[in-house]
Amino acid sequence: MRLGSTLIHLIIIFLFYGCKKEKGVYKKYFKETLTVCSSGKPSTLDPHFQDDSQSYRVLINIYDTLVSFNPNMSLIPDIAINWEMDQDLLWRFTITNDKFFHNGKRVEAKDVVYSFLRAKNSPNSDISSYLSLVDTIWSEGKTVFIKFIKPIASFMNRLPLIFVAPAGNSFTDELIPPVGSGPFKFVKFTDEGIRLQKINPTNFSFIDIKSVPNNDQRGEMLLSGECDIADKISYSNVYKNIVENINISIKKQMGLITFMMVVDTTQPPFNEVKVRKAVNYLLDREELVEKFVSGFGIPLGQIAPPTVFGHIPEIDPPSKDLEKTKLLLKEAGYNEPIKIRLKSSKTLSLLNYLIAEQLAPFFDVESEIVSWQTLYNQISKGTVGNHISGWLFSSADISDFLESLVHTKDGRYGDLNSSGYSNKKLDSLIELSSTILDIRTRKKVLADIVYTLTDELPYIPLFVRVETVGIRKPFDVILYPNGVVKLETLTIKEK
């Protein structure tokens, strides 16, 4: 009797305290709305009318893709549960039966076909170059077929960049509000940004994504608790305070973004390659890394960082050399300080000013700071001139950069070539490299391209950033090399 009474008492204690703990953990860690402070603002929420990192980082939470990247940038199933290359020119994908759009409709093969045709053929698409070698796309039941004009080496790595939307919508009108099948549903635009709703809420229900381009303000908002997550925290002057704050954890990841000085090769002084080389020898990349990203970066002498296929380990960044600079400018016919205008977004304003200081006294630099939206629009139209920019190697392959920024603009390639650079021999090599399936042969062709770019410098590489994100405890998140925080990876980090 005493034993039975004791057991009953223990069970009651266990149930009481066990339930209390579970309930307590939930209450302690549940937050109705989490706030993400982003360094930039999406150019659009249309899944295909964008090719900028800020738009992608929002849309990746709303939409699904045929295949996705895991945190190591390896491919994993998403809408497609399996795939195979039937021939060199034909791929087939089997579509899952378990995905639903936020309007309740099941994701079907026809939606994939529609999305790919829209991305390829819409006059407003910014990602048409990813599908430039696609001949036809069709579906049969749960299978999608994609046939190519030529083999395309980096095709599978481009698939995580092409979002799938419901069929039947316009090819030319913006798909606003966005309707995807991802883990978050678009709710509304707010005064400061965008609100998303988690489809299966656990420790939170909503995400507010705010645009906070001022680096210091973003860091201070993270410290004060106004932000639960903030990106690019190494840019902030309060970074040391963030590191010392016991309520904030920091994620770091070698990145895929190359920062570069883009020059207008069609106009003086940068139509002269010797002037571009003079700038290359004037820059102190170590100082730029230290002062702009608190040491979270690696100086580059080539456009592709070590994390990207096409990087050549033997190419080191040049050391600052004033004598070479003087000689090159003299040979180019310049003896007086050269006046140039250099644009950048607000987020990169400090980098702009640092470069202006480094180029003096050989260059008289007028720094022009504009919004990211303004800069992106001017890049798209080819009217931006000399500017500081970053390129996200979204596919972890150099081909996207070569086809979009290096190739001569001709309607199929060079859609974002804002430097005006044109090299017909290089154009042929770029087109050839994208069709070579043998890795060793492709590496050799890409090496020829990279060495030429390093010599002619239409894009002057600066450094690759180590991605950083700060997150307030007890939440934890996975940071991808492309700087993406997939909000579905948000979890509670137990002590």
List beta partners, residue 38: 211
CATH superfamily placement of domain 53-164: Dipeptide-binding Protein; Domain 1 (3.90.76.10)
Angle between helix axes 349-359 and 273-282 (nearest 10 degrees) is 100
Tokens at residue 228, please?
Answer: 């639960």
End-to-end CA distance of the chain: give it in Å, rounded: 41
CATH superfamily placement of domain 180-254+470-492: Periplasmic binding protein-like II (3.40.190.10)
Show me where the domains of the chain are located: 53-164, 180-254+470-492, 255-466
How far apart CA 138 and CA 15 sit, in angstroms, is 57
Q: What's residue 373's pLDDT?
A: 84
Kind plus residue range of the DSSP H or E element containing 467:
strand 459-472
Q: What's residue 23's pLDDT?
A: 40
Q: What's residue 494's pLDDT?
A: 67
Segments of the chain scoring below 50 in pLDDT: 1-27
Q: Do domains 53-164 and 255-466 have the same CATH topology?
A: no
Kind plus residue range of the DSSP H or E element containing 290:
helix 285-292
User: For all residues of the chain together, what is the average pLDDT?
Assistant: 90
DSSP 224-268: HTS-SEEE-GGGSTTHHHHHH-TTEEEEEEEEEEEEEEE--TTST
493 and 474 in contact (C-beta within 8 Å)?
Answer: yes
Q: What's residue 2's pLDDT?
A: 39
CATH code for the domain defined by 255-466 = 3.10.105.10
46 and 122 in contact (C-beta within 8 Å)?
Answer: no
